[in-house]
Homo-oligomer: A and B are copies of this chain.
Amino acid sequence: MTPPPELAPLEVSESPVDKFREYLEIRGEKLTEQRRKLVDHIFNSHKHFDADELVSDLRHSGSRVSRSTVYRTLRLMVDAGLLRELRLTNRTAYEHNYGYPSHDHMHCTGCGTIVEFRNDSIRRIREEIGDQFGFRADNHRFIITGMCPECLRARSRRRKLDQI
């Protein structure tokens, strides 16, 4: 099975670290060693992650950043527009929001896989609904839940075995 195609990154003029530095400067805050490590690590790969994975990933790669700092920095990065929060389960998952096109998600209830997709109609519908209710529609989350192809196959295999 080929992995689902990743969406192509957007062209952005500043690097994530620069964008973060800018945000911090405006608020009179500092770009520390730990914050830089976090931004670098996060934007080094494009995947969904949570606070816990971040702590252990960094620990394994030799950089120790405390759990509290991870949580504090994640909040800053969301405020800075670098990350977006996804609340699919009890723990908060994050994804890139900077240098990456807006998109929606399919979530497999079997294995937890998240697949991203783009669909331009959604945004139009969002505006229509907002107008209709007098809302200023700033953003949206559209999450399709169901079974991914792998899980569907696994299930039908299991059923066949049960019949023997």
Which A residues fall within an 8 A CB radius of B? 4, 87-88, 106, 108-109, 115, 117, 119, 121-122, 125-126, 129-130, 132-149, 152
Complex CA–CA separation, A88 to B141 (angstroms): 10
What are the 4 closest A-B residue pairs judged by CB atoms, nearest first? A134-B149, A138-B146, A137-B146, A136-B147
CB-based contact A139/B129 at 8 Å: no
Given contacts A125-B119, A125-B122, A129-B117, contact A136 B141 (CB under 8 A): no
Of B106, B132, B141, B143, the contact of A130 (CB 8 Å cutoff): B106
Asked if residues B108 and A135 are in contact (CB atoms below 8 Å), the reply is yes
A149–B147 CA distance with the chains assembled, in angstroms: 38
CA distance A139 to B108 in the complex (A): 11
Residues of B contacting A141 in the complex (Cβ-Cβ under 8 angstroms): 141-143, 145
Please tell me how many copies of the chain the complex holds.
2
A138 touches B133 (CB 8 A): no
**Bound form: Cα–Cα A152–B130 in Å:** 13
The answer to whether A138 touches B147 (Cβ under 8 A) is yes
Which chain B residues border A147 with CB–CB below 8 Å? 135-136, 138
Contact indicator B146/A130 (Cβ below 8 Å): yes
Q: How far is the CB of A1 from chain B (nearest CB, A)?
A: 10
What residue in chain B is nearest A92 (Cβ atoms)? B90
Q: Which residue of B lies closest to A134 (CB)?
A: B149
Known: A136-B147, A147-B135. A121 touches B119 (CB 8 A): no
Contact yes or no, A143 B146, CB < 8 A: no
Let me know if A106 and B129 touch, CB within 8 A.
yes
Q: How far is the CB of A80 from chain B (nearest CB, A)?
A: 17
